[in-house]
Chain A
Protein backbone atom coordinates (compact mmCIF):
# COMPACT_ATOMS: atom_id res chain seq x y z
CA UNK A 1 0.00 0.00 0.00
CA UNK A 2 1.43 3.35 -1.06
CA UNK A 3 1.01 6.72 0.56
CA UNK A 4 -0.98 9.50 -1.07
CA UNK A 5 1.14 11.36 -3.66
CA UNK A 6 0.01 14.94 -3.35
CA UNK A 7 -2.26 16.57 -0.77
CA UNK A 8 -4.17 19.83 -0.99
CA UNK A 9 -4.34 21.65 2.34
CA UNK A 10 -7.66 23.47 2.60
CA UNK A 11 -6.86 25.60 5.61
CA UNK A 12 -4.64 28.39 6.86
CA UNK A 13 -2.65 29.50 9.90
CA UNK A 14 -0.71 27.16 12.12
CA UNK A 15 -2.62 24.02 11.16
CA UNK A 16 -1.69 24.52 7.48
CA UNK A 17 1.98 24.59 8.51
CA UNK A 18 1.46 21.57 10.75
CA UNK A 19 -0.12 19.49 7.96
CA UNK A 20 2.51 20.58 5.39
CA UNK A 21 5.30 19.50 7.75
CA UNK A 22 3.62 16.13 8.38
CA UNK A 23 3.27 15.56 4.62
CA UNK A 24 6.90 16.47 4.06
CA UNK A 25 8.03 14.04 6.74
CA UNK A 26 6.25 11.28 4.82
CA UNK A 27 7.45 12.44 1.38
CA UNK A 28 4.00 13.61 0.26
CA UNK A 29 3.83 16.67 -2.03
CA UNK A 30 1.79 19.63 -0.80
CA UNK A 31 -0.44 22.20 -2.47
CA UNK A 32 -1.78 24.95 -0.21
CA UNK A 33 -5.07 26.65 -1.09
CA UNK A 34 -4.91 30.27 0.08
CA UNK A 35 -7.09 33.35 0.01
CA UNK A 36 -5.80 36.53 -1.58
CA UNK A 37 -4.38 37.88 1.72
CA UNK A 38 -2.67 34.61 2.69
CA UNK A 39 -0.30 34.33 -0.26
CA UNK A 40 2.74 35.32 1.81
CA UNK A 41 2.16 33.18 4.90
CA UNK A 42 4.59 30.70 6.41
CA UNK A 43 2.48 27.85 5.03
CA UNK A 44 2.68 29.38 1.56
CA UNK A 45 6.46 29.52 1.85
CA UNK A 46 6.74 25.88 2.91
CA UNK A 47 4.24 24.27 0.52
CA UNK A 48 5.47 22.85 -2.78
CA UNK A 49 2.80 24.86 -4.54
CA UNK A 50 0.29 27.56 -3.61
CA UNK A 51 -3.00 28.28 -5.37
CA UNK A 52 -5.05 31.35 -4.64
CA UNK A 53 -8.68 30.24 -4.56
CA UNK A 54 -10.54 33.45 -3.80
CA UNK A 55 -10.67 36.80 -2.02
CA UNK A 56 -10.01 37.33 1.69
CA UNK A 57 -13.49 36.74 3.16
CA UNK A 58 -13.68 33.06 4.15
CA UNK A 59 -17.13 32.63 2.59
CA UNK A 60 -15.59 33.34 -0.83
CA UNK A 61 -12.50 31.19 -0.29
CA UNK A 62 -11.85 28.80 2.64
CA UNK A 63 -15.55 28.04 3.20
CA UNK A 64 -16.41 27.15 -0.40
CA UNK A 65 -16.32 23.34 -0.88
CA UNK A 66 -16.45 23.52 -4.70
CA UNK A 67 -13.48 25.90 -4.87
CA UNK A 68 -11.16 23.79 -2.74
CA UNK A 69 -12.18 20.55 -4.47
CA UNK A 70 -11.63 22.16 -7.88
CA UNK A 71 -8.21 23.37 -6.71
CA UNK A 72 -7.33 19.80 -5.66
CA UNK A 73 -8.44 18.35 -9.00
CA UNK A 74 -6.77 21.02 -11.13
CA UNK A 75 -3.44 20.56 -9.35
CA UNK A 76 -3.47 16.77 -9.57
CA UNK A 77 -3.91 16.09 -5.85
CA UNK A 78 -5.07 12.64 -4.72
CA UNK A 79 -5.79 13.78 -1.15
CA UNK A 80 -7.26 16.78 0.67
CA UNK A 81 -6.63 17.71 4.30
CA UNK A 82 -9.25 20.07 5.73
CA UNK A 83 -7.46 20.91 9.02
CA UNK A 84 -9.91 22.05 11.74
CA UNK A 85 -12.68 24.64 11.53
CA UNK A 86 -13.65 25.93 8.07
CA UNK A 87 -14.84 22.91 6.00
CA UNK A 88 -13.33 20.18 8.17
CA UNK A 89 -16.69 18.78 9.28
CA UNK A 90 -18.79 19.74 6.29
CA UNK A 91 -20.55 16.82 4.67
CA UNK A 92 -20.57 18.60 1.26
CA UNK A 93 -16.79 18.75 0.98
CA UNK A 94 -16.21 15.14 2.06
CA UNK A 95 -18.90 14.04 -0.43
CA UNK A 96 -17.48 16.14 -3.28
CA UNK A 97 -14.04 14.64 -2.65
CA UNK A 98 -15.43 11.10 -2.57
CA UNK A 99 -17.34 11.65 -5.82
CA UNK A 100 -14.20 12.97 -7.53
CA UNK A 101 -11.68 10.39 -6.30
CA UNK A 102 -9.84 12.80 -4.03
CA UNK A 103 -9.22 11.17 -0.65
CA UNK A 104 -10.72 13.35 2.09
CA UNK A 105 -8.34 13.08 5.05
CA UNK A 106 -10.86 12.52 7.79
CA UNK A 107 -13.77 10.15 8.27
CA UNK A 108 -16.11 9.57 5.33
CA UNK A 109 -18.95 11.93 4.43
CA UNK A 110 -21.54 9.62 6.01
CA UNK A 111 -19.62 9.47 9.32
CA UNK A 112 -19.34 13.27 9.34
CA UNK A 113 -23.09 13.57 8.85
CA UNK A 114 -23.85 11.05 11.59
CA UNK A 115 -21.65 12.51 14.30
CA UNK A 116 -22.50 16.07 13.24
CA UNK A 117 -26.23 15.54 13.86
CA UNK A 118 -26.56 16.03 17.63
CA UNK A 119 -29.60 13.79 18.05
CA UNK A 120 -28.18 11.01 15.90
CA UNK A 121 -24.81 11.18 17.65
CA UNK A 122 -26.55 10.98 21.04
CA UNK A 123 -28.58 8.00 19.85
CA UNK A 124 -25.43 6.28 18.55
CA UNK A 125 -23.67 6.90 21.86
CA UNK A 126 -26.59 5.41 23.75
CA UNK A 127 -26.68 2.38 21.46
CA UNK A 128 -22.92 1.90 21.92
CA UNK A 129 -23.33 1.93 25.68
CA UNK A 130 -21.74 5.37 26.16
CA UNK A 131 -23.37 7.19 29.09
CA UNK A 132 -25.38 10.27 28.21
CA UNK A 133 -26.52 12.99 30.64
CA UNK A 134 -29.69 11.76 32.38
CA UNK A 135 -32.54 13.79 30.92
CA UNK A 136 -36.06 13.82 29.55
CA UNK A 137 -38.11 14.41 26.45
CA UNK A 138 -40.51 17.36 26.40
CA UNK A 139 -42.02 18.13 29.81
CA UNK A 140 -45.55 19.55 29.76
CA UNK A 141 -46.60 20.32 33.36
CA UNK A 142 -45.00 21.25 36.67
CA UNK A 143 -46.27 18.00 38.18
CA UNK A 144 -44.66 15.99 35.41
CA UNK A 145 -41.42 17.93 35.94
CA UNK A 146 -41.40 17.07 39.65
CA UNK A 147 -41.84 13.38 38.97
CA UNK A 148 -39.12 13.32 36.28
CA UNK A 149 -36.72 15.29 38.52
CA UNK A 150 -37.01 12.55 41.13
CA UNK A 151 -35.78 10.04 38.56
CA UNK A 152 -32.92 12.21 37.25
CA UNK A 153 -31.76 13.37 40.66
CA UNK A 154 -31.40 16.99 41.85
CA UNK A 155 -30.20 19.51 40.94
CA UNK A 156 -31.90 19.53 37.53
CA UNK A 157 -31.83 21.95 34.61
CA UNK A 158 -34.98 23.08 32.84
CA UNK A 159 -34.05 24.03 29.30
CA UNK A 160 -36.07 25.73 26.57
CA UNK A 161 -36.44 23.33 23.64
CA UNK A 162 -36.10 26.30 21.28
CA UNK A 163 -33.21 27.84 23.23
CA UNK A 164 -29.46 27.55 22.96
CA UNK A 165 -26.17 29.11 24.02
CA UNK A 166 -27.08 28.99 27.69
CA UNK A 167 -30.26 31.07 27.31
CA UNK A 168 -33.59 29.88 28.71
CA UNK A 169 -31.97 27.65 31.34
CA UNK A 170 -33.20 27.38 34.93
CA UNK A 171 -31.78 25.26 37.74
CA UNK A 172 -33.99 23.64 40.38
CA UNK A 173 -31.98 22.56 43.43
CA UNK A 174 -34.60 20.48 45.20
CA UNK A 175 -38.25 19.42 45.19
CA UNK A 176 -39.43 22.66 46.83
CA UNK A 177 -37.96 24.55 43.89
CA UNK A 178 -39.21 22.54 40.95
CA UNK A 179 -42.77 23.80 40.38
CA UNK A 180 -41.85 27.47 40.63
CA UNK A 181 -38.83 26.92 38.38
CA UNK A 182 -40.96 25.15 35.81
CA UNK A 183 -43.48 28.00 35.64
CA UNK A 184 -40.74 30.61 35.37
CA UNK A 185 -38.76 28.70 32.76
CA UNK A 186 -41.85 28.02 30.67
CA UNK A 187 -42.99 31.68 30.80
CA UNK A 188 -39.54 32.90 29.88
CA UNK A 189 -39.10 30.40 27.06
CA UNK A 190 -42.42 31.51 25.58
CA UNK A 191 -41.41 35.17 25.82
CA UNK A 192 -37.90 34.68 24.46
CA UNK A 193 -38.41 32.04 21.79
CA UNK A 194 -42.18 32.06 21.14
CA UNK A 195 -42.26 28.46 22.34
CA UNK A 196 -42.73 27.46 25.97
CA UNK A 197 -41.65 23.81 25.50
CA UNK A 198 -39.13 22.58 28.06
CA UNK A 199 -36.97 19.52 28.60
CA UNK A 200 -34.87 18.50 31.58
CA UNK A 201 -31.32 17.36 32.25
CA UNK A 202 -29.31 16.69 35.35
CA UNK A 203 -27.39 19.81 36.37
CA UNK A 204 -23.69 19.14 36.86
CA UNK A 205 -22.34 21.91 39.03
CA UNK A 206 -18.73 20.81 39.15
CA UNK A 207 -18.22 19.75 35.54
CA UNK A 208 -14.97 19.25 33.71
CA UNK A 209 -14.50 18.86 29.98
CA UNK A 210 -12.60 15.64 29.33
CA UNK A 211 -12.05 14.24 25.85
CA UNK A 212 -10.53 11.07 24.45
CA UNK A 213 -8.35 11.05 21.34
CA UNK A 214 -9.37 8.11 19.17
CA UNK A 215 -8.53 6.53 15.83
CA UNK A 216 -10.13 3.94 13.62
CA UNK A 217 -8.78 2.46 10.38
CA UNK A 218 -10.07 0.50 7.41
CA UNK A 219 -9.02 -2.81 9.00
CA UNK A 220 -11.39 -2.60 11.96
CA UNK A 221 -8.73 -1.39 14.39
CA UNK A 222 -9.71 1.10 17.09
CA UNK A 223 -7.12 2.95 19.15
CA UNK A 224 -7.18 5.59 21.87
CA UNK A 225 -4.31 7.87 22.88
CA UNK A 226 -5.61 8.76 26.32
CA UNK A 227 -7.51 11.84 27.36
CA UNK A 228 -7.19 15.62 27.65
CA UNK A 229 -8.72 18.01 30.17
CA UNK A 230 -10.04 21.16 28.47
CA UNK A 231 -12.00 22.68 31.37
CA UNK A 232 -10.47 26.15 31.10
CA UNK A 233 -13.02 27.71 28.77
CA UNK A 234 -14.52 31.07 28.00
CA UNK A 235 -17.89 31.16 26.23
CA UNK A 236 -17.51 27.48 25.30
CA UNK A 237 -14.11 28.23 23.69
CA UNK A 238 -11.14 26.33 25.06
CA UNK A 239 -8.36 28.56 26.38
CA UNK A 240 -5.98 26.09 28.07
CA UNK A 241 -5.82 22.33 27.45
CA UNK A 242 -3.76 19.69 29.15
CA UNK A 243 -3.23 15.99 29.41
CA UNK A 244 -3.59 13.52 30.89
CA UNK A 245 -6.89 14.18 32.71
CA UNK A 246 -5.26 14.47 36.12
CA UNK A 247 -8.48 14.34 38.20
CA UNK A 248 -9.64 10.97 36.90
CA UNK A 249 -9.40 8.00 39.27
CA UNK A 250 -7.71 5.11 37.44
CA UNK A 251 -10.88 2.99 37.37
CA UNK A 252 -12.88 5.84 35.82
CA UNK A 253 -10.14 6.47 33.25
CA UNK A 254 -10.25 2.83 32.15
CA UNK A 255 -14.04 2.96 31.74
CA UNK A 256 -13.78 6.28 29.87
CA UNK A 257 -11.32 4.89 27.32
CA UNK A 258 -13.38 1.73 26.86
CA UNK A 259 -16.53 3.75 26.20
CA UNK A 260 -14.77 5.91 23.58
CA UNK A 261 -13.49 2.79 21.80
CA UNK A 262 -17.01 1.29 21.91
CA UNK A 263 -18.31 4.33 20.06
CA UNK A 264 -15.51 4.12 17.45
CA UNK A 265 -16.32 0.45 16.85
CA UNK A 266 -20.10 1.00 16.85
CA UNK A 267 -19.76 3.73 14.19
CA UNK A 268 -17.09 1.87 12.19
CA UNK A 269 -15.29 5.18 12.47
CA UNK A 270 -12.19 5.66 10.31
CA UNK A 271 -9.41 8.27 10.89
CA UNK A 272 -8.77 10.59 13.86
CA UNK A 273 -11.59 11.73 16.09
CA UNK A 274 -12.31 13.04 19.56
CA UNK A 275 -15.04 11.87 21.90
CA UNK A 276 -15.96 14.69 24.27
CA UNK A 277 -17.36 14.11 27.75
CA UNK A 278 -18.67 16.10 30.64
CA UNK A 279 -17.07 14.77 33.80
CA UNK A 280 -18.98 15.16 37.07
CA UNK A 281 -16.07 15.50 39.47
CA UNK A 282 -18.32 15.20 42.55
CA UNK A 283 -19.99 11.93 41.50
CA UNK A 284 -17.06 10.65 39.43
CA UNK A 285 -19.41 10.10 36.50
CA UNK A 286 -18.88 10.93 32.83
CA UNK A 287 -21.38 11.71 30.09
CA UNK A 288 -21.13 11.96 26.31
CA UNK A 289 -21.28 15.50 24.85
CA UNK A 290 -20.36 15.01 21.20
CA UNK A 291 -17.84 13.53 18.83
CA UNK A 292 -15.56 15.70 16.69
CA UNK A 293 -14.74 14.23 13.31
CA UNK A 294 -11.48 16.11 12.70
CA UNK A 295 -8.03 16.77 14.06
CA UNK A 296 -8.44 19.08 17.07
CA UNK A 297 -6.62 22.33 17.84
CA UNK A 298 -5.26 20.72 21.02
CA UNK A 299 -3.97 17.50 19.39
CA UNK A 300 -0.30 18.39 20.22
CA UNK A 301 -1.04 17.84 23.94
CA UNK A 302 -1.59 14.17 23.14
CA UNK A 303 1.38 14.05 20.78
CA UNK A 304 3.68 15.24 23.56
CA UNK A 305 2.53 12.70 26.13
CA UNK A 306 2.33 9.73 23.74
CA UNK A 307 4.99 10.47 21.12
CA UNK A 308 2.50 9.63 18.34
CA UNK A 309 2.27 12.05 15.40
CA UNK A 310 -1.48 12.37 14.97
CA UNK A 311 -1.42 14.12 11.57
CA UNK A 312 1.00 11.59 10.08
CA UNK A 313 -1.26 8.85 11.39
CA UNK A 314 -4.22 10.52 9.64
CA UNK A 315 -2.28 10.57 6.36
CA UNK A 316 -1.37 6.88 6.68
CA UNK A 317 -4.95 5.85 7.46
CA UNK A 318 -6.31 7.85 4.51
CA UNK A 319 -3.70 6.20 2.29
CA UNK A 320 -5.35 2.89 3.17
CA UNK A 321 -2.75 1.74 5.69
CA UNK A 322 -3.51 0.38 9.14
CA UNK A 323 -2.88 2.45 12.28
CA UNK A 324 0.86 2.16 12.95
CA UNK A 325 0.54 2.05 16.76
CA UNK A 326 -0.69 -0.85 18.86
CA UNK A 327 -2.78 -0.09 21.94
CA UNK A 328 -0.38 -2.06 24.12
CA UNK A 329 2.46 0.21 22.94
CA UNK A 330 0.72 3.44 23.95
CA UNK A 331 2.37 4.88 27.06
CA UNK A 332 1.32 8.14 28.66
CA UNK A 333 4.48 9.94 29.69
CA UNK A 334 4.47 13.03 31.92
CA UNK A 335 2.14 16.00 31.63
CA UNK A 336 1.59 18.51 28.80
CA UNK A 337 -0.16 21.91 28.80
CA UNK A 338 -1.22 24.05 25.84
CA UNK A 339 -2.05 27.77 25.92
CA UNK A 340 -3.85 29.25 22.93
CA UNK A 341 -2.11 32.51 22.11
CA UNK A 342 -4.53 34.94 20.48
CA UNK A 343 -4.21 38.40 18.98
CA UNK A 344 -6.79 39.89 21.33
CA UNK A 345 -7.09 42.18 24.34
CA UNK A 346 -8.48 40.43 27.44
CA UNK A 347 -8.89 43.78 29.22
CA UNK A 348 -11.21 44.94 26.47
CA UNK A 349 -13.66 42.04 26.37
CA UNK A 350 -11.15 39.87 24.48
CA UNK A 351 -11.59 42.01 21.37
CA UNK A 352 -9.50 40.77 18.42
CA UNK A 353 -6.43 42.91 17.70
CA UNK A 354 -5.12 42.14 14.21
CA UNK A 355 -2.09 44.02 12.90
CA UNK A 356 1.58 43.85 11.97
CA UNK A 357 3.92 41.87 14.25
CA UNK A 358 7.03 44.02 14.62
CA UNK A 359 8.87 41.65 16.94
CA UNK A 360 8.34 37.93 17.43
CA UNK A 361 10.55 36.41 20.08
CA UNK A 362 9.23 33.02 21.18
CA UNK A 363 10.51 30.89 24.06
CA UNK A 364 12.84 27.99 23.34
CA UNK A 365 13.76 24.93 25.34
CA UNK A 366 13.85 21.17 25.31
CA UNK A 367 10.39 20.96 26.88
CA UNK A 368 8.74 23.72 24.79
CA UNK A 369 6.74 23.27 21.56
CA UNK A 370 5.32 26.16 19.56
CA UNK A 371 2.88 25.57 16.69
CA UNK A 372 2.55 28.83 14.76
CA UNK A 373 2.48 30.51 11.37
CA UNK A 374 3.74 33.86 12.67
CA UNK A 375 7.09 35.66 12.43
CA UNK A 376 8.50 39.17 12.70
CA UNK A 377 6.87 41.26 9.98
CA UNK A 378 3.77 39.05 9.60
CA UNK A 379 0.48 40.89 9.25
CA UNK A 380 -2.31 39.21 11.26
CA UNK A 381 -5.27 39.78 8.93
CA UNK A 382 -8.64 40.84 10.33
CA UNK A 383 -10.66 38.25 8.41
CA UNK A 384 -10.09 35.08 10.39
CA UNK A 385 -9.71 33.53 13.82
CA UNK A 386 -7.40 35.49 16.11
CA UNK A 387 -5.26 32.51 17.21
CA UNK A 388 -1.62 33.16 16.34
CA UNK A 389 0.16 30.32 18.15
CA UNK A 390 -0.21 27.31 20.41
CA UNK A 391 2.40 27.26 23.14
CA UNK A 392 2.99 23.85 24.73
CA UNK A 393 5.22 22.48 27.45
CA UNK A 394 5.94 18.89 28.47
CA UNK A 395 7.27 17.90 31.90
CA UNK A 396 7.42 14.81 34.10
CA UNK A 397 4.43 15.87 36.24
CA UNK A 398 1.71 18.53 36.34
CA UNK A 399 3.39 20.81 38.90
CA UNK A 400 6.58 21.03 36.86
CA UNK A 401 4.55 21.49 33.66
CA UNK A 402 2.73 24.47 35.21
CA UNK A 403 6.07 25.94 36.26
CA UNK A 404 7.54 25.32 32.79
CA UNK A 405 4.55 27.08 31.20
CA UNK A 406 4.99 30.09 33.50
CA UNK A 407 8.63 30.40 32.39
CA UNK A 408 7.78 29.90 28.72
CA UNK A 409 5.05 32.57 28.87
CA UNK A 410 7.40 34.96 30.65
CA UNK A 411 9.97 34.50 27.88
CA UNK A 412 7.44 34.98 25.04
CA UNK A 413 7.70 38.52 23.64
CA UNK A 414 5.53 39.85 20.84
CA UNK A 415 5.46 43.49 19.75
CA UNK A 416 3.26 45.35 17.29
CA UNK A 417 0.01 43.63 18.28
CA UNK A 418 -1.74 42.96 21.57
CA UNK A 419 -2.05 39.37 22.75
CA UNK A 420 -3.46 37.33 25.62
CA UNK A 421 -0.01 36.18 26.83
CA UNK A 422 -0.21 38.27 29.98
CA UNK A 423 -3.68 36.80 30.66
CA UNK A 424 -2.24 33.28 30.39
CA UNK A 425 0.51 34.26 32.85
CA UNK A 426 -2.24 35.27 35.28
CA UNK A 427 -4.07 31.93 34.79
CA UNK A 428 -0.89 29.91 35.34
CA UNK A 429 -0.18 31.77 38.60
CA UNK A 430 -3.68 31.47 40.07
CA UNK A 431 -3.71 29.15 43.08
CA UNK A 432 -6.86 27.31 41.92
CA UNK A 433 -5.26 26.46 38.60
CA UNK A 434 -2.04 25.31 40.20
CA UNK A 435 -4.05 23.13 42.60
CA UNK A 436 -6.21 21.80 39.75
CA UNK A 437 -9.37 23.06 41.46
CA UNK A 438 -11.17 24.22 38.33
CA UNK A 439 -14.25 23.38 36.31
CA UNK A 440 -15.79 24.57 33.03
CA UNK A 441 -17.21 27.71 34.69
CA UNK A 442 -14.12 28.57 36.74
CA UNK A 443 -12.53 30.91 34.20
CA UNK A 444 -15.63 33.07 33.89
CA UNK A 445 -16.84 33.00 37.49
CA UNK A 446 -13.58 33.05 39.47
CA UNK A 447 -10.61 33.94 37.33
CA UNK A 448 -12.02 36.79 35.23
CA UNK A 449 -13.28 38.85 38.20
CA UNK A 450 -9.88 38.42 39.89
CA UNK A 451 -8.10 39.36 36.67
CA UNK A 452 -10.18 42.48 36.17
CA UNK A 453 -9.57 43.55 39.76
CA UNK A 454 -5.87 42.97 39.25
CA UNK A 455 -5.88 45.09 36.09
CA UNK A 456 -7.67 48.13 37.49
CA UNK A 457 -5.36 50.67 39.15
Chain B
Protein backbone atom coordinates (compact mmCIF):
# COMPACT_ATOMS: atom_id res chain seq x y z
CA UNK B 1 0.00 0.00 0.00
CA UNK B 2 1.72 3.17 -1.14
CA UNK B 3 0.65 6.71 -0.39
CA UNK B 4 -1.55 8.40 -3.00
CA UNK B 5 -1.17 11.82 -4.57
CA UNK B 6 -4.41 12.94 -3.00
CA UNK B 7 -3.23 11.87 0.41
CA UNK B 8 -0.07 13.92 -0.01
CA UNK B 9 -2.11 16.82 -1.26
CA UNK B 10 -4.48 16.58 1.66
CA UNK B 11 -1.58 16.31 4.07
CA UNK B 12 0.02 19.43 2.63
CA UNK B 13 -3.25 21.34 2.77
CA UNK B 14 -3.68 20.23 6.35
CA UNK B 15 -0.13 21.31 7.16
CA UNK B 16 -0.60 24.63 5.47
CA UNK B 17 -3.67 25.42 7.55
CA UNK B 18 -2.12 24.23 10.78
CA UNK B 19 0.10 26.29 13.04
CA UNK B 20 2.89 23.74 12.67
CA UNK B 21 6.21 24.95 11.33
CA UNK B 22 7.55 21.65 10.13
CA UNK B 23 6.22 18.25 9.08
CA UNK B 24 8.06 15.02 8.46
CA UNK B 25 6.53 11.87 7.12
CA UNK B 26 8.03 8.52 6.38
CA UNK B 27 6.03 5.67 4.95
CA UNK B 28 6.96 2.69 2.84
CA UNK B 29 9.07 3.94 -0.07
CA UNK B 30 8.50 7.64 0.60
CA UNK B 31 9.92 10.31 2.85
CA UNK B 32 8.62 13.84 2.99
CA UNK B 33 9.79 16.79 5.01
CA UNK B 34 8.21 20.21 4.61
CA UNK B 35 8.82 23.45 6.43
CA UNK B 36 7.05 26.81 6.44
CA UNK B 37 10.15 28.94 6.98
CA UNK B 38 12.27 27.19 4.38
CA UNK B 39 14.86 26.00 6.90
CA UNK B 40 14.56 22.30 7.52
CA UNK B 41 16.55 21.17 10.51
CA UNK B 42 18.43 18.55 8.50
CA UNK B 43 20.08 19.29 5.20
CA UNK B 44 17.89 17.37 2.80
CA UNK B 45 18.46 15.54 -0.40
CA UNK B 46 16.70 17.40 -3.17
CA UNK B 47 15.34 14.43 -5.04
CA UNK B 48 11.92 15.31 -6.46
CA UNK B 49 8.85 13.98 -4.76
CA UNK B 50 7.84 10.69 -6.40
CA UNK B 51 4.47 11.99 -7.46
CA UNK B 52 3.40 10.94 -10.92
CA UNK B 53 1.21 13.91 -11.69
CA UNK B 54 2.27 17.40 -10.78
CA UNK B 55 -1.19 18.72 -11.58
CA UNK B 56 -2.58 17.54 -8.27
CA UNK B 57 -0.12 19.61 -6.25
CA UNK B 58 -1.79 22.76 -4.94
CA UNK B 59 -0.07 25.89 -6.20
CA UNK B 60 0.12 27.35 -2.73
CA UNK B 61 1.69 24.27 -1.18
CA UNK B 62 4.91 24.81 0.70
CA UNK B 63 8.08 23.44 -0.93
CA UNK B 64 8.41 19.74 -0.35
CA UNK B 65 11.70 17.92 -0.17
CA UNK B 66 12.56 14.30 0.32
CA UNK B 67 14.83 13.65 3.23
CA UNK B 68 16.53 10.46 4.33
CA UNK B 69 15.87 10.95 8.00
CA UNK B 70 12.53 11.82 9.44
CA UNK B 71 10.31 10.75 12.24
CA UNK B 72 6.96 9.47 10.97
CA UNK B 73 3.95 11.61 11.63
CA UNK B 74 0.85 9.48 11.68
CA UNK B 75 -2.64 10.73 11.15
CA UNK B 76 -4.59 8.25 13.21
CA UNK B 77 -7.92 7.18 11.75
CA UNK B 78 -10.72 9.01 13.48
CA UNK B 79 -12.43 6.82 16.05
CA UNK B 80 -15.95 7.42 17.23
CA UNK B 81 -16.61 7.81 20.93
CA UNK B 82 -19.95 6.92 22.51
CA UNK B 83 -22.76 9.17 21.30
CA UNK B 84 -20.83 10.30 18.22
CA UNK B 85 -21.75 9.75 14.56
CA UNK B 86 -20.09 10.34 11.22
CA UNK B 87 -21.59 12.71 8.73
CA UNK B 88 -20.73 11.14 5.37
CA UNK B 89 -20.26 12.35 1.79
CA UNK B 90 -23.35 11.89 -0.41
CA UNK B 91 -21.15 11.28 -3.47
CA UNK B 92 -17.60 11.62 -4.66
CA UNK B 93 -16.51 15.23 -4.83
CA UNK B 94 -14.22 17.99 -3.59
CA UNK B 95 -14.88 19.33 -0.10
CA UNK B 96 -15.15 23.04 0.76
CA UNK B 97 -15.83 24.34 4.27
CA UNK B 98 -17.28 27.73 3.33
CA UNK B 99 -19.90 29.07 0.94
CA UNK B 100 -17.24 30.87 -1.17
CA UNK B 101 -13.54 31.69 -0.94
CA UNK B 102 -12.95 34.20 1.86
CA UNK B 103 -16.30 33.55 3.55
CA UNK B 104 -16.30 32.31 7.13
CA UNK B 105 -16.53 28.53 7.50
CA UNK B 106 -19.99 27.02 7.89
CA UNK B 107 -18.96 25.48 11.21
CA UNK B 108 -15.99 25.32 13.59
CA UNK B 109 -14.94 22.37 15.66
CA UNK B 110 -16.72 22.58 19.00
CA UNK B 111 -19.70 24.46 17.59
CA UNK B 112 -23.25 23.47 18.52
CA UNK B 113 -25.49 22.88 15.51
CA UNK B 114 -29.16 22.22 14.81
CA UNK B 115 -30.35 19.41 12.57
CA UNK B 116 -30.32 20.72 9.01
CA UNK B 117 -27.42 23.12 9.61
CA UNK B 118 -25.08 23.47 6.60
CA UNK B 119 -21.65 21.92 7.24
CA UNK B 120 -19.77 22.00 3.95
CA UNK B 121 -20.05 21.95 0.15
CA UNK B 122 -19.24 19.06 -2.16
CA UNK B 123 -18.08 20.16 -5.59
CA UNK B 124 -18.57 17.97 -8.65
CA UNK B 125 -17.32 19.58 -11.85
CA UNK B 126 -18.02 23.13 -10.60
CA UNK B 127 -21.47 22.24 -9.31
CA UNK B 128 -21.75 22.66 -5.55
CA UNK B 129 -24.04 20.64 -3.30
CA UNK B 130 -24.55 21.75 0.28
CA UNK B 131 -24.18 19.02 2.88
CA UNK B 132 -26.40 19.53 5.92
CA UNK B 133 -26.28 17.83 9.27
CA UNK B 134 -28.98 15.25 9.80
CA UNK B 135 -28.61 15.48 13.58
CA UNK B 136 -28.55 18.10 16.33
CA UNK B 137 -25.35 18.17 18.35
CA UNK B 138 -21.77 19.39 18.54
CA UNK B 139 -19.14 19.36 15.77
CA UNK B 140 -16.34 17.30 17.29
CA UNK B 141 -14.00 17.13 14.37
CA UNK B 142 -13.73 18.03 10.71
CA UNK B 143 -12.00 15.17 8.92
CA UNK B 144 -11.41 16.49 5.41
CA UNK B 145 -9.47 19.58 4.45
CA UNK B 146 -10.55 22.13 1.84
CA UNK B 147 -9.91 21.06 -1.73
CA UNK B 148 -9.55 17.39 -0.94
CA UNK B 149 -11.43 14.75 -2.91
CA UNK B 150 -13.61 12.38 -0.95
CA UNK B 151 -15.24 9.22 -2.18
CA UNK B 152 -18.90 8.38 -1.80
CA UNK B 153 -19.81 7.62 1.84
CA UNK B 154 -16.49 8.92 3.22
CA UNK B 155 -16.76 10.43 6.74
CA UNK B 156 -16.65 14.26 6.62
CA UNK B 157 -17.37 15.25 10.22
CA UNK B 158 -17.72 13.67 13.62
CA UNK B 159 -20.79 14.96 15.41
CA UNK B 160 -21.61 14.32 19.06
CA UNK B 161 -25.35 13.81 18.98
CA UNK B 162 -27.31 15.92 21.41
Interface residues of A (CB under 8 A from B): 5-6, 29, 33, 35-36, 49, 51-55, 60-61, 64-67, 69-71, 74-76, 96, 100
Contact = CB atoms under 8 A, between A and B. Distances in A.
Contact of A67 (B6, B55, B56, B124): B124
Interface in B110-124: 123-124
A67 B127 CA distance: 10
A192 B149 CA distance: 50
Nearest to A50: B151
B17 interface: no
B42 interface: no
B125 A69 contact: yes
Nearest to A65: B125
A361 B154 CA distance: 36
23 contacts: A33-B92, A35-B152, A51-B92, A51-B149, A52-B151, A52-B152, A53-B92, A53-B151, A53-B152, A54-B152, A55-B152, A55-B153, A60-B91, A61-B152, A64-B91, A66-B125, A67-B91, A67-B124, A67-B125, A74-B6, A74-B94, A75-B5, A100-B125
Main secondary structure, interface of A, reads mixed
Contact of A5 (B52, B91, B94, B123): B52
A253 B79 CA distance: 67
B53 interface: yes
A406 to B, nearest CB: 44
A5 B93 contact: no
B152 A6 contact: no
Contacts of B124: 64, 66-67, 70
A337 to B, nearest CB: 39
- Sort chain B's interface into a size bin: 20 to 34
Contacts of B92: 33, 51-54, 67, 70-71, 74
Nearest to A53: B92
Contacts of A54: 91-92, 152
A64 B125 CA distance: 11
A66 B5 CA distance: 21
Given A66-B127, A69-B125, A76-B5, A51 B56 contact: no
Nearest to B54: A76
Closest 10 CB pairs of A and B: A76-B53, A74-B149, A66-B125, A52-B151, A53-B92, A52-B152, A54-B91, A66-B124, A54-B152, A70-B124
A54 to B, nearest CB: 4
Given A5-B52, A76-B53, A96-B125, A70 B93 contact: yes
B50 to A, nearest CB: 13
A36 B153 contact: yes
A5 B151 contact: no
Nearest to B92: A53
Contacts of A71: 92, 149
Looking at B53, B55, B56, B92, the one whose CB has the most chain A CB atoms below 10 A away is B92
B107 to A, nearest CB: 24
B125 A70 contact: yes
A6 B91 contact: no
A329 B52 CA distance: 37
B100 interface: no
Nearest to B57: A76
Contacts of B153: 36, 52, 55
A36 B88 CA distance: 13
Nearest to B122: A70
Nearest to B53: A76
A69 B125 CA distance: 7
A53 B52 contact: no
A227 B136 CA distance: 63
Contacts of A6: 52-53
